[in-house]
């Protein structure tokens, strides 16, 4: 298996939420993504502490993965916020 050492700077992970998901469901998903990021951070930290030398390329991939997981959590949180605001506006417009 070959891995590319080059990535496009504009590549970004996008979280496509279920259109029927509630704000609560999106916040739960955000928490899950952030827990994955936390777990991967702990794993990388343990590997660095125990390693005699560090493979910088693999470490960079791990850090990029953490960044992608955090971004997914942030996008989920932002979508939950939009849904809560939308629900609040529609509730105040109802007779």
Show Cβ contacts of residue 9 under 8 Å, excluding neighbours closer than 6 positions.
Answer: none
2 — pLDDT class (breaks 50, 70, 90): very low
Percent of the chain with pLDDT over 90: 59
CA–CA separation, 87 vs 91, rounded Å? 6
Res. 86: pLDDT tops 50: yes
CA–CA separation, 31 vs 71, rounded Å? 12
Domain ranges of the chain: 23-93
**Cβ–Cβ < 8 Å for 82, 22:** no
Tell me the average pLDDT of the chain.
Answer: 85
Quickly tell me which residue has 């590319």 as its tokens: 4
Q: What is the pTM of this model?
A: 0.77
The mean per-residue pLDDT over the stretch 62-80 comes to: 94
| Token pair recorded at residue 47 | 């590997």
7 — pLDDT class (breaks 50, 70, 90): low
* DSSP-based three-state secondary structure for 1: coil
The mean per-residue pLDDT over the stretch 33-55 comes to: 93
């Amino acid at each position: 298996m070959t891995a590319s050492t080059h990535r496009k700077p504009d590549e970004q992970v996008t979280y496509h939420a279920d259109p029927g998901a509630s704000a609560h469901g999106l916040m739960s998903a955000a928490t899950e993504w952030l827990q994955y990021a936390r777990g991967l951070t702990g794993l990388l930290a343990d590997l660095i502490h125990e390693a005699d030398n560090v493979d910088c390329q693999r470490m960079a991939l791990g850090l990029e993965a953490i960044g992608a997981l955090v971004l997914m959590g942030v996008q989920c949180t932002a979508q939950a916020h939009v849904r809560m605001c939308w629900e609040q506006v529609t509730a105040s417009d109802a007779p």
